[in-house]
Structure 1
Amino acid sequence: MTHAKTNEPDSAISTDRVIGRYGGDTLGPTLVCITGLHGNEPAGVAAATRVLDYLHKHKPALRGEFVALRGNLTALSRRERYIDRDLNRQWTQERLAALAAPGDAPQSVEDREQIALNAAISREIEHAPGRFFLLDVHTTSSVSAPFVILHDSLRNRAFARALCAPLVLGLEESLEGTITDHFSERGGVCAAFECGRHDDAVSVELGEAALWLGIRAADMLDAGDIPHIAEMRARIHAAASGVPPVVEVLARHALERGDAYVMRPGFRNFDIVRRGQALGLHNGHDVAAAADSRVFMPLYQALGTEAFFLVQPVARFWLWLSGVVRRAGFSRIIGWLPGVRPHALRPRTFVVNPLIARIAVAEIFHLLGAREHESEHGRRVFSLRREE
């Protein structure tokens, strides 16, 4: 199968953080599109440029403002995923506090990029007269259907569903410090849209479609003011054919700095794999699938902190039930569950004693709207997502 390559480099290679903005005369939401957070993913820059070109040419009456930003300027200029560290793994409270500490000069390229990008987004939040939306556009190193990653609050779930691609739940529990996770906790409505393979021209088309659908989902334009919106929805649905509508992460195969990993050739995102099936070589040793599942984000590039994930489908019933449970406020019972106590330092966070709470712990916490973090002193740690 041949793939046409993207051919829009000029819009990606720039020293300007702001790609552009377009606002109407009517106050409304602010939608910030983040592109090129990884420097080898320029398709998002091209997609945002297309949307802005159309808006400025046709001048529809937008409610609110659409803003597109470049993420990692240095990495984009070199067409590398990152220079010193992954910019989409740094958005933790601890990391941001360290960068803001007086007298501490940024130590890496990504530190400087994060300080500038965080300031740019924070300015948009500060001046936003209405609700704040953030859509982070990415591509993958393998052939892939489009999909959406979200911090699974109910408000994010509604926005993500409007993008018409399969939803991936639980990834934020494996990947601490993503930009969508951080700005969700700041009260934004956030999602990450993965368009397809890095150098595939269709990735730009799908990224553009996702941005238009995001504008519509934020109620910034009526459907009739968006070009070919029905065709855009159909295009995303067709590109995701055969992929379950919702999946959750089962496992992550992590890589450390200096590790040598080679993925076996031929895997596409969401391919079905069987338990024991060989997936790659990690420091010279075979790595096999731990369960019957689907391989997710197999690594076919030089830089990366994950070799692959394994995912499995989620029944729609559980999504419906979790919505009912969360809207009813059942999260208030968490502190009363056996073996559960509030975290001493972190609000809306709970510590679970695995010797007492043993059965379906993650499933119960997910149902109540919580996510899991790294364990502390042998105890499991969960925090409640912001739902408002």
Structure 2
Amino acid sequence: MQLKRVVVTGMGAITPLGNTLQEFWDGLVNGVSGADFITQFDASKFKTRFACEVKNFDPTSYLDKKEARKIDRFSQFALVVSDQAMADAGLHRDTINADRGGVVFASGIGGINTFQTEVSEYAKGDGTPRFNPFFIPKMILDIAAGQISMRHNLRGPNFAVVSACASSTNSLMEAYNLLRLGKADFILAGGSESVICEAGVGGFNAMKAMSERNDDPKTASRPYDKDRDGFVMGEAAGIVVLETLESALARGARIYCEIAGAGATADAHHITAPHPEGLGARNVMIAALEDAGMKAEDIDYINTHGTSTPLGDGAEVKAITDVFGEHAYNLNISSTKSMTGHCLGAAGVIEAIACIESVVNDVVPPTINHFTDDPDLDPKLNFTFNKAQKRTVNAALSNTFGFGGHNACVIVKKYVA
């Protein structure tokens, strides 16, 4: 069977750097930090009192007020970026072939805000069960995929993907595979996350996973810096419209780039810690390169998982040097989490969008907040510290890894007719 080529024809993004695709990309190339003190709840008694929040987001500016009340914040994000991506791709619900359009959408946690609110309200009462009838439909993480399909009349493949912080990269991979097998003409793939609440921040604090640099939130996310002390929580949503090449050409669509390949592996090591030798990360990059029929030397830029944790950053760098050998020194490497924070289940798609923009614009966004070299990391590697760099980017690779040992990787490349 001849597999179909898959291209990107539309994108949408809401991130801590801005609520549109252009604002997001401008923030990345200008090295803007999205971190600040938490506004969504009183965090004064928490070990971490800052995060990378989405700013100036009023759901009623995009959605009917009654509709907005019925869906969790992560689903509100999802619907807005679906509108952005459909418009960007030149697709409209009244003119598409609804049976050939699908949605594969991810979240690492789903509607934790709704869960916290409903359970807290019950606990305050006398034990009488008084729950909102929308409690379950607001909370479950697959509901965003369902909401997107209903909003845009997409009756093709529709499901959710969850693999912790690798979730939305896995959603891209699943959509890519469905398309190249001919199961649909186009699929909206991506993810959304909004967990900046007492339960989310408190839970990650209890694991000692997050930075506690409350005296300097803007510089707290510092991947590959000697003094990194944990990740900064972020929230975001992103969607990429993936489409078969023949469908895109038939309707005269603008093509951003081509999906070259993808891979998925497991560490099989620990519930939260990465394999110390970066084994799963190494294997997933090899799998993606093999799927793409590419050599290590074909990659110009790697958007790393790079969460700013002491263990994770080092293990991924070791995996990169193992896979790319001498070519590792020709690569640009950067972690855009230094600017967006770690957006959990949405991290993969917004970082894939960063890779797509790099391929389109031949610019590599920086790893900001670098102050002190880590003696355990090879100083000859180009981590693109503090300032974006212009270079030809023919192909870019995006890594995401999740609790449970999940690893996912996607490769994008310039489209050649």
TM-score, L = length of structure 2: 0.27
- Higher RCO structure (Cα 8 Å, ≥6 apart): 2
Higher strand share: 1
TM-score, L = length of structure 1: 0.29
